[in-house]
Amino acid sequence: MVSNVCGLMLILFIDAVVSSVSATGSTSIDSKKVFDVRSYGARGDGKTDNTMAFTKAWKDACGWIGYARVYVPFGTFYLGAVTFTGPCKSRISFIIKGTLLAPKDPNSIKQDTWIIFRSVDYLTVSGGGILDGQGSYSWTLNDCRKSHNCRALPMNMGFQFVKFSRLRRIKSINSKMGHFNFFAAQHFTISRVTITAPGDSPNTDGIKIGLSNHMKIHDVDIGTGDDCIAILSGNTDLEIFNVRCGPGHGISVGSLGRYTNEKSVQGIIVRDSIFNGTSDGVRIKTWASSGPRNVVSNFRYNNLQMINVGNPINIDQQYCPNPPCYSKVASQVHIQDVKFNNIWGTSTNKVAVKLRCSNTFPCKDVELIDINLVHSGPDGPATALCEHVIGWARGKMSPASCIR
């Protein structure tokens, strides 16, 4: 009797597995499967348009019940604009070993980002491969340094509404505009990523983040023509550490206050990082004539080295990249609870610490601790500048604190 029952259970189990195989093509019980883009017709010759092959590989992998891995082998794979959309059935990896090559002509990319991952949870993008945006063919079209109403060129890779995911061991070079863009990401970790573009390439931000929370960025090398990391509206709980930044514009919060629907930015940690040859070190920038009041609060900048940095510590609430700007109305962005601790090195400008805050909403609870910034030049030693700042300073202080 017992053997008959066991036999019946075994038959039912086999039946279930067979049904799963016939439905999906492979067993779905604790299964792993690699979806090699070459099996879908992709060719790594640097010429063939592989957009359809990549899209088909993603669709099958995303629908797989088990651990799916899209695999891009060594080679140069030309790829048009593509969006990889979820939700997927299970966790999924996108493994890039070779080089993904963007179209030279930005007009052929009919979206704001060349490669997009959207609405995917438990995603890993890794493999040690390269994203080549071929931006040098487009940078002459970018006039954002002359006009803030400039044309937006496509970024290299974007993550939209992605949760519990990772980007690691990927190199992005020569983006047409920014390299990596994150919007509404949650619980996302970026590590061992290298980002490279010439120091004079326009608006090639390394990592841009908006409306995201609980992100970690660490052990990354970023050298670009704009911000190494740009923290935009609506971000909370970001931790950034072990970053090597330069060339570029440093790690910036903002710019904020230009648009009426922006959100507050809170809970940012930047620590244990090196800035080398950047125009700025750590910077908070808000437009002078900003919209409704928002709050920038609970920021911690700890253990940062500055090597020949233009503005090592910079709060600028009169941000105006394209003068003239309307500056009769003070910034409505309220900056509070910001600590700069153990920041040292060399400043290429005489004013090494700039804290220019709003006269309507002065910066509050700004603390300087153990600052040692040196300037060597005919204009004399380093100095500090404060406007509308409420806070205090303690420990070693060079230049002398301007907070009273």
Q: Which residues are catalytic?
A: 249
- CA dihedral over 367, 207, 189, 97, signed as positive or negative: negative
**Distances from the Cα of 172 to the Cαs of 148, 237, 307, 347, in angstroms?**
25, 25, 24, 29
- Are the C-beta atoms of 361 and 333 separated by less than 8 Å? yes
What distance lies between CA 397 and its chain's CA centroid? Answer: 32
- Are the C-beta atoms of 167 and 159 separated by less than 8 Å? yes
- Name the residue type at position 225: G
Q: Which residues contact 361 (CB under 8 A, 6 or more apart)?
A: 293, 330, 331, 332, 333, 334, 335
Q: Among 169, 216, 213, 215, which Cα is nearest to 195's?
A: 169
Reading the block at residue 61, the tokens are 């992998």
Complete DSSP assignment for 38-65:
GGGT---BSSS--HHHHHHHHHHHHT-S
* Whole-number Å distance between alpha carbons of 157 and 167: 11
Class of residue 45 by CB neighbours under 10 A (exposed 0-12, middle 13-18, buried 19+): exposed
Class of residue 6 by CB neighbours under 10 A (exposed 0-12, middle 13-18, buried 19+): exposed
- Name the residue type at position 96: I
State the residue for tokens 């620590």. Answer: 271
Q: How many other CB atoms are there within 10 angstroms of residue 260's CB atom?
A: 8
* Whole-number Å distance between alpha carbons of 154 and 152: 7
> Which 8-state DSSP code applies to residue 18?
H
Q: Which helix (DSSP H) or strand (DSSP E) does residue 3 occupy? A: helix 2-24
**Distances from the Cα of 232 to the Cαs of 149, 150, 199, 247, 378, in angstroms?**
18, 18, 22, 20, 37
